Amino acid sequence: MDSSALLSLLPFFGIDPHTHTIKPIGAGLIHGTYVVHNQNDIPVYILQHLNNAVFRIPEDISWNLGRLQAFLEAEHSNYFVPFPLKTENGDDYLIQDGRYYRLSPFVPGSHAVSICTSAEQAYEAALQFGK
């Protein structure tokens, strides 16, 4: 999907598309993943097109994330997880032309690695998944 079509999704999340740009990030091993930059070219969001060929019921992803978010808020309120933002309708994802999208805050300093090139990268990835 081209960037202008992706930008047209932002108003559903209450974001002005005229003050943002979108660029792909990573190799998109499962989902199509894009970084949304503000007018100062600072990354502010991650937009994902969910692959419903792999995850056949994307609503279940949303349900699972909602349970995880409720648990963490109740038990570990200081633990940061970039959960998906709500659409203006209060949904955790957007369905547009039969495709599922979610928008999450960008984590400053984060980056995507498609293939680990060192043991240190593999260790760090495992450590973050383990958290």
Of 39-53, 63-77, 95-109, 111-125, minimum mean pLDDT range: 111-125
In angstroms, rounded to a whole number, what is the distance separating the alpha carbons of residues 42 and 69? 26
Of 50, 48, 43, 52, give the one whose Cα is nearest residue 103.
Answer: 48
Q: What is the pLDDT of residue 120?
A: 93
Asked whether the predicted pLDDT for residue 28 surpasses 80, the reply is no
**Percent of all residues in the chain with a pLDDT value above 90, rounded to a whole number:** 57
User: Which residue is it, tokens 């999907």?
Assistant: 1
Q: What is the pLDDT of residue 12?
A: 97
Contacting residues for 95 by C-beta, under 8 A, at least 6 apart: 101
Q: Residue 125's pLDDT band (boundaries 50, 70, 90)? A: confident
